[in-house]
Amino acid sequence: MSIKIANKLGRGHYLKKKIFSSRHILECNYPEKSAFNFVQVGANDGVSFDFLYGFVTKRNSQGVVIEPIKKYFSELVKNYQNYPKIIKVNKAVHPTQKKVLINRISTKAIDKYPSWAKGIASIDTNHHKKVNVDSNDMVKEEANADTLMNIITQNMSNSQLDYIQIDTEGFDYEVIKMIDFKKIKPDILKYENVHLDTKQRIDVEVLLKKQGYSVFKENGDSIAINLNKIKLF
């Protein structure tokens, strides 16, 4: 109703952008110093590519940050060294495998590309081609792997999750399928949709809507929200 009124006043685009912003929604529902429980899959170094680090470090946060690449994980540990309630896990998330090969950009080649190249590590051997990174600049790294639920239950005593964020360069739907919604049901779930194919985008939204979420787009991401618990503004 607010959006319809604002459209008539010529402010609809601004209001939609403000409301359907994951940052705005999180700040609206979890004020600074409030309790906040979260899981981040594909955390990289913890500080690059999004606002989450600055958000969780201003709250009474407990959570698990998961990153398979050893170098990025070392940086992640350093960046979160003053936050012992945020558990750092050096693993890949996979439904069946205990070890996986991750394709990442070579340390020697990373300066040839913009900063986003650090974030293209993927199980998909052809993922780098989608962003025009030379195959000669890619290397494989073996990582230990486990299911998402195993990692969460082993590292979090509180089953109440406020937020899950997933950024796995095309593997996001597979990660979401690992969630046992009978055991944990985050109020907000954010995932990257830009690297999913059309069928996957449809299927993941169907799955989440069956669980009672409303799903909104935010640039190359999607935000699934339990509107019974979360206010938009």
- Kindly report the backbone phi and psi dihedral angles of residue 94, in degrees, each rounded to the nearest multiple of 5, phi listed first: -150, 145
- 63-113 pLDDT per residue, tens: 999 999 999 999 999 999 999 999 999 999 999 999 999 999 999 999 999
Please report the pLDDT score of residue 6 as a whole number: 45
Most confident of 12-21, 121-130, 141-150: 141-150
Please report the pLDDT score of residue 160 as a whole number: 84
- Distance, in Å, from the CA atom of 160 to the CA atom of 172, rounded to the nearest integer, reads 21
Give the residue-averaged pLDDT of 128-139: 94
- 1-25 pLDDT per residue, tens: 444 444 444 444 444 555 568 999 9
- 162-204 pLDDT per residue, tens: 999 999 999 999 999 999 999 999 999 999 999 999 999 999 9
90 close to 64: Cβ distance less than 8 angstroms: no
Instruction: Map out the domains of the chain with their CATH numbers.
Output: 23-95+148-225 (3.40.50.150)
Please report the pLDDT score of residue 55 as a whole number: 97
Please report the pLDDT score of residue 11 as a whole number: 44
